[in-house]
């Protein structure tokens, strides 16, 4: 299931490795190029966008939310301001059912490790909350589980 692939434990070392490979540019070895194209944990690109958008789409169904997602991002695709706004709006729509959003990034521009981790942690918590709510094991006054990311991270 897509939620098993979420990444919410990126580190500074992951970001340093991505930055190092990016600086090498065309000077990368074949192995470094393969690593660079595989979806680095320290970068935020198409593999991350697809994973998050697929997770959002998966959560939207049972929550009966009609959201537009894109799950076929490729390395050559250009991210627009409207893509970022839609991406974050969808994220807030599905996660606000289960957690407070004050730690989610306000924008995708200059996204850092904490923001990237926060996005995927919010999806993981929401997926877990949805499973519990569907199983009837957790009840709250409004029928939905609400936890803050602070309690989880």
pLDDT band at 147 (very low <50, low <70, confident <90, very high): very low
- 144 pLDDT exceeds 50? no
- 94 pLDDT exceeds 60? yes
**Alpha helix positions (H), 10-97:** 12-24, 30-37, 46-60, 81-95
Q: What is the pTM of this model?
A: 0.81
Domain ranges of the chain: 2-152
Using a pLDDT cut of 90, give the percent of the chain over it. Answer: 53
Least confident of 54-63, 101-110, 132-141: 132-141
Query: What is the predicted pLDDT for the residue at 113?
Result: 92
Q: What are 89's two structure tokens? A: 């709006």
Least confident of 40-49, 61-70, 85-94, 129-138: 129-138
**CB-based contact 109:78 (threshold 8 Å):** no
Question: Interior CA angle at 130 toward 82 and 41, to 5°?
Answer: 55
Q: pLDDT tens digits, residue range 29-45?
A: 999 999 988 888 998 88
Q: pLDDT tens digits, residue range 95-109?
A: 988 887 676 888 888
Pairwise CA distance, residues 40 & 81, whole Å: 23
Using a pLDDT cut of 70, give the percent of the chain over it. Answer: 84
- 136 pLDDT exceeds 70? no
Query: What is the predicted pLDDT for the residue at 133?
Result: 63
Q: What are 108's two structure tokens? A: 């995708």
């Amino acid at each position: 299931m897509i939620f098993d692939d979420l990444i919410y434990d990126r580190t500074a070392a992951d970001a340093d490795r991505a930055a190092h490979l990016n600086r090498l540019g065309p000077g990368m070895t074949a192995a470094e190029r393969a690593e660079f194209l595989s979806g680095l944990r320290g970068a935020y690109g198409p593999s991350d966008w697809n994973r998050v958008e697929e997770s959002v789409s998966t959560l939207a169904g049972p929550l009966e939310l009609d959201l537009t997602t894109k799950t076929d991002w490729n390395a050559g695709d250009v991210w627009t301001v409207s893509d970022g706004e839609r991406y974050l709006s969808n994220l807030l729509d599905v996660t606000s059912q289960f957690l407070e959003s004050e730690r989610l990034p306000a924008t995708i521009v200059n996204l850092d490790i904490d923001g990237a981790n926060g996005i995927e942690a919010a999806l993981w918590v929401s997926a877990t909350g949805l499973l519990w709510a569907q199983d009837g094991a957790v009840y709250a006054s409004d029928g939905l589980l609400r936890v803050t990311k602070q309690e989880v991270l």
